[in-house]
Protein backbone atom coordinates (compact mmCIF):
# COMPACT_ATOMS: atom_id res chain seq x y z
CA UNK A 1 0.00 0.00 0.00
CA UNK A 2 1.24 3.44 -0.97
CA UNK A 3 2.16 5.44 2.14
CA UNK A 4 -0.09 8.28 0.98
CA UNK A 5 -3.10 5.94 1.10
CA UNK A 6 -2.29 4.34 4.47
CA UNK A 7 -4.37 6.87 6.42
CA UNK A 8 -7.48 5.79 4.48
CA UNK A 9 -6.89 2.12 5.25
CA UNK A 10 -6.40 3.01 8.93
CA UNK A 11 -9.75 4.83 8.92
CA UNK A 12 -11.43 1.80 7.32
CA UNK A 13 -9.95 -0.44 10.04
CA UNK A 14 -11.41 1.91 12.65
CA UNK A 15 -14.83 1.67 10.98
CA UNK A 16 -14.62 -2.14 11.25
CA UNK A 17 -13.57 -1.92 14.92
CA UNK A 18 -16.49 0.41 15.62
CA UNK A 19 -18.90 -2.04 13.95
CA UNK A 20 -17.51 -4.96 15.97
CA UNK A 21 -17.98 -2.94 19.15
CA UNK A 22 -21.54 -2.13 18.13
CA UNK A 23 -22.26 -5.80 17.45
CA UNK A 24 -20.88 -6.78 20.86
CA UNK A 25 -23.59 -4.69 22.52
CA UNK A 26 -26.38 -6.59 20.74
CA UNK A 27 -27.49 -9.50 22.87
CA UNK A 28 -28.02 -12.82 21.16
CA UNK A 29 -29.82 -15.01 23.68
CA UNK A 30 -26.71 -15.61 25.75
CA UNK A 31 -25.48 -13.29 28.47
CA UNK A 32 -22.64 -11.16 27.15
CA UNK A 33 -21.03 -8.63 29.52
CA UNK A 34 -20.44 -6.29 26.55
CA UNK A 35 -24.16 -5.37 26.56
CA UNK A 36 -23.27 -3.20 29.58
CA UNK A 37 -20.47 -1.32 27.74
CA UNK A 38 -22.55 1.75 26.88
CA UNK A 39 -24.27 2.04 30.28
CA UNK A 40 -22.86 4.68 32.63
CA UNK A 41 -23.42 4.87 36.39
CA UNK A 42 -23.36 8.06 38.44
CA UNK A 43 -20.26 7.48 40.59
CA UNK A 44 -19.84 10.48 42.88
CA UNK A 45 -21.06 12.82 40.16
CA UNK A 46 -19.06 11.24 37.32
CA UNK A 47 -20.65 9.03 34.61
CA UNK A 48 -18.60 5.83 34.92
CA UNK A 49 -18.80 2.48 33.04
CA UNK A 50 -20.32 -0.32 35.14
CA UNK A 51 -17.14 -2.39 34.69
CA UNK A 52 -15.24 0.28 36.66
CA UNK A 53 -17.51 0.26 39.73
CA UNK A 54 -17.92 -3.48 40.19
CA UNK A 55 -17.03 -6.99 39.13
CA UNK A 56 -19.07 -8.20 36.13
CA UNK A 57 -19.31 -11.99 35.71
CA UNK A 58 -21.37 -14.53 33.76
CA UNK A 59 -22.07 -17.40 36.20
CA UNK A 60 -24.55 -19.09 33.82
CA UNK A 61 -25.33 -18.89 30.11
CA UNK A 62 -28.18 -16.38 30.52
CA UNK A 63 -27.21 -14.49 33.69
CA UNK A 64 -24.91 -11.52 34.21
CA UNK A 65 -23.92 -10.80 37.78
CA UNK A 66 -22.59 -7.44 38.95
CA UNK A 67 -20.87 -7.23 42.33
CA UNK A 68 -20.25 -3.53 43.11
CA UNK A 69 -17.09 -2.74 45.03
CA UNK A 70 -19.13 -0.42 47.24
CA UNK A 71 -22.50 -1.54 48.59
CA UNK A 72 -23.81 2.00 48.18
CA UNK A 73 -23.50 1.62 44.39
CA UNK A 74 -26.14 -1.16 44.14
CA UNK A 75 -29.07 1.26 43.77
CA UNK A 76 -27.19 3.52 41.31
CA UNK A 77 -26.23 0.57 39.08
CA UNK A 78 -29.77 -0.78 39.19
CA UNK A 79 -31.15 2.65 38.26
CA UNK A 80 -28.69 3.01 35.34
CA UNK A 81 -29.64 -0.40 33.94
CA UNK A 82 -33.36 0.37 34.19
CA UNK A 83 -32.84 3.74 32.45
CA UNK A 84 -30.90 2.06 29.59
CA UNK A 85 -32.42 0.47 26.48
CA UNK A 86 -31.34 -3.01 27.63
CA UNK A 87 -34.93 -4.07 28.32
CA UNK A 88 -34.07 -6.24 31.32
CA UNK A 89 -35.15 -5.69 34.91
CA UNK A 90 -32.27 -6.14 37.33
CA UNK A 91 -32.79 -7.93 40.63
CA UNK A 92 -30.59 -7.47 43.67
CA UNK A 93 -30.10 -9.13 47.03
CA UNK A 94 -28.57 -6.05 48.65
CA UNK A 95 -24.99 -6.73 47.56
CA UNK A 96 -25.17 -8.34 44.08
CA UNK A 97 -27.21 -7.39 41.01
CA UNK A 98 -28.37 -10.11 38.63
CA UNK A 99 -29.61 -9.67 35.07
CA UNK A 100 -31.51 -12.70 33.79
CA UNK A 101 -31.77 -12.78 30.00
CA UNK A 102 -34.96 -14.44 28.74
CA UNK A 103 -34.93 -16.61 25.64
CA UNK A 104 -35.38 -14.44 22.57
CA UNK A 105 -38.65 -14.82 20.70
CA UNK A 106 -38.59 -15.45 16.96
CA UNK A 107 -39.93 -11.93 16.34
CA UNK A 108 -37.26 -10.36 18.56
CA UNK A 109 -34.56 -12.35 16.76
CA UNK A 110 -35.79 -11.02 13.42
CA UNK A 111 -35.81 -7.44 14.76
CA UNK A 112 -32.25 -7.87 16.02
CA UNK A 113 -31.19 -9.33 12.66
CA UNK A 114 -32.65 -6.23 10.92
CA UNK A 115 -30.71 -4.04 13.35
CA UNK A 116 -27.51 -5.97 12.55
CA UNK A 117 -28.13 -5.45 8.82
CA UNK A 118 -28.73 -1.71 9.31
CA UNK A 119 -25.50 -1.34 11.30
CA UNK A 120 -23.65 -3.21 8.52
CA UNK A 121 -25.07 -0.82 5.92
CA UNK A 122 -23.96 2.13 8.05
CA UNK A 123 -20.49 0.57 8.22
CA UNK A 124 -20.37 0.17 4.44
CA UNK A 125 -21.44 3.80 3.96
CA UNK A 126 -18.65 4.92 6.32
CA UNK A 127 -16.08 2.89 4.35
CA UNK A 128 -17.34 4.26 1.03
CA UNK A 129 -17.13 7.80 2.41
CA UNK A 130 -13.51 7.14 3.34
CA UNK A 131 -12.88 5.90 -0.21
CA UNK A 132 -14.49 9.07 -1.58
CA UNK A 133 -12.19 11.19 0.60
CA UNK A 134 -9.25 9.17 -0.70
CA UNK A 135 -10.30 9.70 -4.31
CA UNK A 136 -10.68 13.45 -3.69
CA UNK A 137 -7.16 13.46 -2.28
CA UNK A 138 -5.89 11.62 -5.38
CA UNK A 139 -7.57 14.15 -7.70
CA UNK A 140 -5.77 16.97 -5.92
CA UNK A 141 -2.55 14.95 -6.10
CA UNK A 142 -3.08 14.58 -9.85
CA UNK A 143 -2.83 18.35 -10.24
CA UNK A 144 0.71 18.26 -8.82
CA UNK A 145 3.73 16.45 -10.26
CA UNK A 146 2.34 12.88 -9.92
CA UNK A 147 1.80 10.97 -13.17
CA UNK A 148 -1.63 9.82 -14.34
CA UNK A 149 -0.46 6.20 -14.27
CA UNK A 150 0.55 6.55 -10.63
CA UNK A 151 -2.82 8.10 -9.77
CA UNK A 152 -4.63 5.25 -11.63
CA UNK A 153 -2.58 2.71 -9.70
CA UNK A 154 -3.39 4.34 -6.37
CA UNK A 155 -7.11 4.56 -7.26
CA UNK A 156 -7.11 0.81 -8.00
CA UNK A 157 -5.29 0.17 -4.72
CA UNK A 158 -7.85 2.25 -2.82
CA UNK A 159 -10.71 0.36 -4.52
CA UNK A 160 -9.17 -3.02 -3.62
CA UNK A 161 -8.81 -1.90 0.00
CA UNK A 162 -12.43 -0.70 0.01
CA UNK A 163 -13.63 -4.02 -1.43
CA UNK A 164 -11.65 -5.91 1.23
CA UNK A 165 -13.29 -3.99 4.08
CA UNK A 166 -16.78 -4.14 2.56
CA UNK A 167 -16.33 -7.94 2.38
CA UNK A 168 -15.24 -7.92 6.05
CA UNK A 169 -18.42 -6.00 6.99
CA UNK A 170 -20.51 -8.63 5.16
CA UNK A 171 -18.69 -11.40 7.03
CA UNK A 172 -19.28 -9.74 10.41
CA UNK A 173 -22.95 -9.23 9.55
CA UNK A 174 -23.43 -12.88 8.54
CA UNK A 175 -21.67 -14.12 11.67
CA UNK A 176 -23.75 -11.92 14.01
CA UNK A 177 -27.02 -12.74 12.21
CA UNK A 178 -26.27 -16.45 12.48
CA UNK A 179 -25.47 -16.02 16.18
CA UNK A 180 -28.80 -14.23 16.75
CA UNK A 181 -30.91 -16.67 14.75
CA UNK A 182 -29.42 -19.76 16.43
CA UNK A 183 -31.82 -20.95 19.09
Could you read off the pLDDT of 46-69 as tens digits, one per residue?
A: 888 988 889 999 888 888 899 999
Between 142 and 20, residue with greater pLDDT: 20
pLDDT digits (tens, 9 = 90+) for 115-144: 999 999 999 999 999 999 999 998 888 888
E strand map for 19-153: 40-43, 46-49, 54-60, 63-68, 91-92, 97-100
Mean predicted confidence (pLDDT) in 137-160: 88
pLDDT at 13: 95
Task: Say yes or no to pLDDT of 37 above 90.
Answer: no
Q: What is the pTM of this model?
A: 0.72
Rounded distance between C-alpha atoms, residue 84 and residue 36, angstroms: 9
β-pairing verdict for 40-43 and 46-49: antiparallel
Mean pLDDT score of the chain, rounded to an integer?
Answer: 88
Cα separation, 122 vs 125, whole angstroms: 5
Instruction: Decide if pLDDT at 1 tops 90.
Output: no
The pLDDT score that the predictor gives to residue 18 is 93
Does residue 105 carry a pLDDT above 70?
yes
pLDDT value at residue 146: 81
Amino acid sequence: MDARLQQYEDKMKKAIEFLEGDYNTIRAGRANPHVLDKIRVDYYGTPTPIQQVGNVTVPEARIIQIAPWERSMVKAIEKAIQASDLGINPSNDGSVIRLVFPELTEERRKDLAKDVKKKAEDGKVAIRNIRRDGNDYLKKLGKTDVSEDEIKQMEEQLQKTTDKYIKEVDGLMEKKTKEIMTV
